[in-house]
Structure formats: structure tokens, C-alpha cells
Amino acid sequence: MVRGTVDKALDLLRTEGLIGTRQGSGSFVRERTSRPVGLRPHLEAAFEQQQVTLDFAGFSSETLHNALQEPLDKVRSGRLAPESITVRLLLPDTTAPMAVPVLVDGLQDEAVLRQRARNIALTNAGGIEHSVEMLAELGLVQKASVQVKVHRASSLFKLYILNRSEALFGFYPLRERTVAIDDTAHTFYDVTGKDTTLFHHAAGPDDASLGSQYVQQPRCGSTACGARSPTSGSHDRHPSATRRRAAAGEACAPRLRRPGVLGLRRSSGPRGRAPTP
């Protein structure tokens, strides 16, 4: 069969999202985008690349925090060896009323519920920051960076973009739940990330392909949604890592606590570690 015919057929299959291609690995049959997928295998595959970039938009990054632990453990043990890791988080600004969480009674805003959401976001974003940037401090990767943006909108969906080539998207299920806060029961509507069904899309051979649009458009939208970008920190491998941290990265954990960034106050806790809510 003529090589050009084969290449044209493969391009058509890629455009339809039926196959994927990895440099050095060839083409492989991909799961249909109409079927739900799990985050963990795609996340681990992303860490096989030299330059790892993870973009997340959603409520708190709790699922991402948990799913990252296995590939990060493999980096620590030497089974995975990326050169750089960049994580970007787009989270809701909890200083203002939100669509969720809200009280079931009258759909009213409740400050203690937003405080609870703030604590969850701080714990997980801070955990991701500490785990990722510690790899650079230990000399296991050349560069590690975690950036956080907040926006004035309620997160009703979650989106992961892996290495600018794959997108996983799903809507949060809305649940009614009752939680005791300061010995007072609050019944409210909330989103549950662990129950979200994710659908997978991969970039095609050109920018006009359906998969490419799924990957590119959300990345463009993050710059147009009014998101605010706090000062971000990064760590490069260097013999004087302690001095570099003091000079360039000491504000990494406090920036997650500044008013206006998740609405949290500055804390005197250990760098990169967040208090348990």
C-alpha cells in the first residue's frame, strides 16, 4: 500500500479521536471520547515526557492532589525522570458569594461554607505546591513551578489539560449534604469532585481538528475570564538551593494565604505546608 494513503488514513483516524500518536512510540488505538476515563493513567503517562505541564480548572484541586502522589513517588524513586514540572491551578475566589456552596433553605450564601471551601482549596493547593517544588529542591528535576490563579466565578466543572495535548473534562455532580461546623449543622448544596465523570480529548494533527479545539480553547479562556495571577514561585536545581529559596521562593506558601488569593490570611506555619481544615 502506498505510504501516502496510509498517512492520510492515520490522519483521518487522529482527527476523529480514534487513535493517538506519541513521539517514539508510534500510533495506538485511543479510547472513544464518549466513554468516561480515569485521571490517574493519563496523569502518569504525562510524567513520561521530559517537560510536564498540568493545567487544572475546578473547585479545589483535591482529586489532582491525590492523583499526583503516585507519579511524584515514581520521580522520587527514579522510575520517572522529567526535566521540569509546571502546574497551573485556576480556582474560584471564595471571598465573594458563590453559586455553590449555598444553603438549601432559600439558596442563601453562608460565609462559614465559603470558609470551609477556602480551607479545602488551601490544603490541596498547598500540598501540590510543596510536593512538586520539593522535587527541585532535592535535585530530582531541573525546574518545578506551581502557579495559582483565582477568578470570580463558581466552578461547576473540572478540567485537566496534560502537556498541552490532552484534555479531560467533566461536570461536578451537585449534592445535598449536612456538615457540622462549629457544632452547628448546615444543610447545603455542594459539588463532589470524586464522583465527576471525565471525558478525554486529544489534540489532533492540526489546530482545526476537534481534539485540538478541546485542548486549545480552555487554555485561551483562562486568560479571558478575569482571573488574577498572584506572584508565582519556581525552583531551579542549584547547589545553594536553600539560599535560592530564601531569595526567590520564600513567598510561595504565603502567596496562597494572602487576602484575595483564595481569601486566606497569612500564616506563620511551615513553608509549603497547609493546616488541616
**181 lies in some domain:** yes
Mean per-residue pLDDT of the chain: 78
Q: Summarize pLDDT for 32-78 with one digit per residue, the tens.
A: 444 567 899 999 999 999 999 999 999 999 999 999 999 999 999 99
**What's the pLDDT score for residue 219?**
65
pLDDT of amino acid 231 = 40
Q: Is the dihedral angle over the CA atoms 115, 121, 124, 128 positive or is it negative?
A: negative
Residues 79-110 have pLDDT tens digits of: 999 999 999 999 999 999 999 999 999 999 99
Q: Domain containing 168: what range?
A: 35-255
Residue 15: its pLDDT value, please?
60
For residue 174, what is its C-alpha cell?
451537585
Q: Quickly state the pLDDT bin for 202 (edges 50, 70, 90).
A: confident
pLDDT tens-digit series, residues 228-274 = 654 444 555 543 333 333 333 333 333 444 334 444 333 333 333 33
In this structure, is residue 85 part of a structural domain? yes
How confident is the model over 149-197, as pLDDT tens digits? 998 888 899 999 999 999 999 999 999 999 999 999 999 999 988 889 9
C-alpha to C-alpha distance for 129 and 257, rounded to whole angstroms: 13
Domain assignment of residue 59, yes or no: yes
pLDDT of residue 275: 38
pLDDT at residue 12, rounded to an integer = 67
In a domain, 27, yes or no: no
If you average pLDDT over residues 120-133, what whole number do you get? 95
- Judge whether 7 lies within some domain: no
Quote the number of domains for the chain.
1
- Residue 37 pLDDT: 73
Q: Which residue has the higher pLDDT, 212 or 25?
A: 212
Is there a domain that residue 16 lies in?
Answer: no
41-45 LR contacts (CB < 8 Å, sep 24+)? 42/160, 42/162, 42/166, 42/168, 42/200, 43/67, 43/68, 43/71, 43/160, 43/162, 44/70, 44/71, 44/74, 44/80, 45/162
Cβ contacts of 20 within 8 Å, gap of 6 or more:
14, 27, 28, 30, 202
Query: 248, exposed or middle or buried, with CB in 10 Å at 0-12, 13-18, 19+?
Result: middle
Q: What is residue 264's predicted lDDT score, i.e. its pLDDT?
A: 36
pLDDT bracket for residue 206 (50, 70, 90): confident
In a domain, 221, yes or no: yes
Grid cell at residue 17: 479521536
Asked if residue 85 lies in contact with residue 185, where contact means CB atoms within 8 angstroms, the answer is: no
Number of H helices, E strands in the chain: 7, 13
Give me the helices (H) in the chain, please. Answer: 3-15, 39-46, 62-77, 111-137, 210-221, 241-244, 252-255
Residue 159 lies in a domain: yes
